[in-house]
Amino acid sequence: MAEDNIIHSIMGKGIDSTPDSLLPKNPGNSIFMRLGITGSTLFNALPYPAILLDAEGNVLGSNTSFQNKFPQDGNDNIHSFINQVRSAAIPQRNEDFKVVYKGKVYWSRVIDIGISHNGEKLGYILMLRDMSQVERIFLELAHVKGLNKQLDRIINASFDGLYITDGKGVTLRLNKAFERITGVTAPECLGRNVRELVAEGYFSRSGTLLALEKRARVTVPLQAKTGKNALVTSTPIFDDQGNTVLVVTNVRDMTELVELEQRLEQVEGLRQKE
């Protein structure tokens, strides 16, 4: 095989270049010898594109995965790429570093193949792991995080209280207005089921539980622990299969509304007296 000849060329410093000698000498390799597995077989079995280098960093060949991924790339192109890698700041061997090949991002690693002669290393493997998809996932994740922050800002900008649970009544989110109206804080509620919160006296009743039970929008009055009277509207949200996945509760401070109405009436009364 051509790859056998390539790997054998690394052994040109007086080492027996039979297939058995391509494997580091240790008892565990006897099974490879019995099966007739050569170093080139293992090289071609690598799941990532890989380039074989001699001790000076010269390209000796590539594995099957590399040839399948880059069928048009001859040694000249590979040598050009290796020269770019050399000109970059490369960390110590057996450490990952980032390179770009054919417009794609790869996490690469120069691996010592463990073959030496008189203490001198005779070869290395440069492996390329395509990270383009991972990079895209990171970008999408950053985008989702950005949207999540925007959603938090929108929720907290609401003058009405907002309280969101999953389809089982576990608290996912609540805004500052909810804390102001009810006197119940986020640390007291997040991750906890509304049933527990009602049982422990945080709320006198729960629109969320009624919405889950009736699978429909409900509106109920609520006496908050702050002494304020609130009007609670809980709306269930369903997935495509009709399962309740969220319950969004709007809490309107009726005490503040009544006070505002009274102030408006007083102002109107003063104007009429003028």
Q: What is the pLDDT of residues 66-118, one digit of tens each?
A: 888 777 666 666 767 776 666 555 545 566 777 777 777 777 777 776 655 55
> Do 178 and 72 share a structural domain?
no
Shortest CA distance to 43 belongs to which of 116, 123, 104?
123
> Do 127 and 8 share a structural domain?
yes
Domain that includes residue 56, residue range: 2-132
- State how far the Cα of 198 lies from the Cα of 196, in Å rounded to an integer: 5
> Do 104 and 181 share a structural domain?
no
- State how far the Cα of 36 lies from the Cα of 18, in Å rounded to an integer: 11
Contacts of 112 (CB under 8 A, 6+ apart): 93, 94, 121, 124
What CATH number is given to the structural domain containing 235?
3.30.450.20
- Would you give the end-to-end CA distance of the chain in angstroms? 107
Q: Would the pTM of this model clear 0.75, i.e. be above it?
A: no
State residue 200's pLDDT score. 93
In a domain, 226, yes or no: yes
Q: How many domains does the chain have?
A: 2
Residue 237 has pLDDT above 70, yes or no: yes
